[in-house]
Chains A and B, each alone.
Chain A
């Protein structure tokens, strides 16, 4: 089954403790992206990747890092999480990121930073 998976689905952590949220897709997609969703603000793009080793900032990249060493994986790294990073995070992918393509989303990771 074609899908985007995220782990963990739920995470509670404390300020300053480094964490990684994994994202994996099995569709051989070149384009992957991370979003955060907050009440009243909608989804906002954090980072995206056009292909292996190629990444770029979205609208809200501060406090986040990403890497794309393999085509199928695009982990999101919070080196020193803060409470304002408490949010619902989504990973998405599409074949090449072109405007004619649909994005496929993972189920989301709910993060609480205390």
Chain B
């Protein structure tokens, strides 16, 4: 059974730092991996989606990488800002229509 783990559970950094969030999964047979941002009261917003055949995706200050063989993905945030404070979730699709989420990393960027 697929399990998705995110470490650390919480992270505080000063503004301007570059940071890396980690996501690991136990079964490498995935269709895709998505990173989401969750803000209180606003649901989840998709940040990046990486197909199983891809190694990375970039959007602005965000870069997500995927290493299927080792069961790992990282989300790199460059030059962090207080507005980046949120919970970041990764989710893997191991079959059509079904998604397994990690428990998230709660990020706080200090001004």
Seen from chain A, the residues whose Cβ lies within 8 Å of a Cβ on chain B are: 4, 31, 33, 35, 40-45, 48, 50, 56, 58-59, 90, 92, 97-108
Question: Which residue from B43, B46, B101 sits with its C-beta under 8 Å from A42?
Answer: B101
Query: Inside 8 A of A58's CB, which chain B residues have their CB?
Result: 98
Query: Which of A44, A103, A106, A107 has a CB less than 8 Å from the CB of B46?
Result: A103
Cα–Cα, bound, A24→B93 (Å):
23
> Would you mind naming 29 contact pairs between A and B with Cβ atoms under 8 Å apart?
A31-B97, A33-B97, A35-B101, A41-B103, A42-B4, A42-B89, A42-B101, A42-B102, A42-B103, A43-B89, A43-B91, A43-B101, A44-B101, A45-B98, A50-B97, A92-B44, A97-B96, A98-B96, A99-B51, A99-B52, A99-B93, A102-B46, A103-B34, A103-B46, A103-B99, A104-B46, A105-B44, A107-B42, A108-B41
CB-defined contacts of B97 to chain A, threshold 8 Å? 31, 33, 48, 50, 56, 97
Tell me how far the C-beta of A76 lies from the nearest C-beta in chain B, rounded to whole angstroms: 15
- CB neighbours (8 Å) of A35 from chain B are 101
Chain B nearest Cβ from A7, distance in angstroms: 14
> How many cross-chain pairs have Cβ atoms below 8 Å apart between A and B?
61
Interface residues of B in 82-111 (CB under 8 A from A): 89, 91, 93, 96-104
Chain A residues whose CB sits within 8 angstroms of the CB of B36 once the complex forms: 105
- Given the known interface contacts A31-B97, A42-B4, A107-B41, the answer about A100 and B32 at a Cβ–Cβ threshold of 8 Å is yes
Whether A102 touches B49, Cβ cut-off 8 Å, given contacts A42-B101, A45-B98, is yes
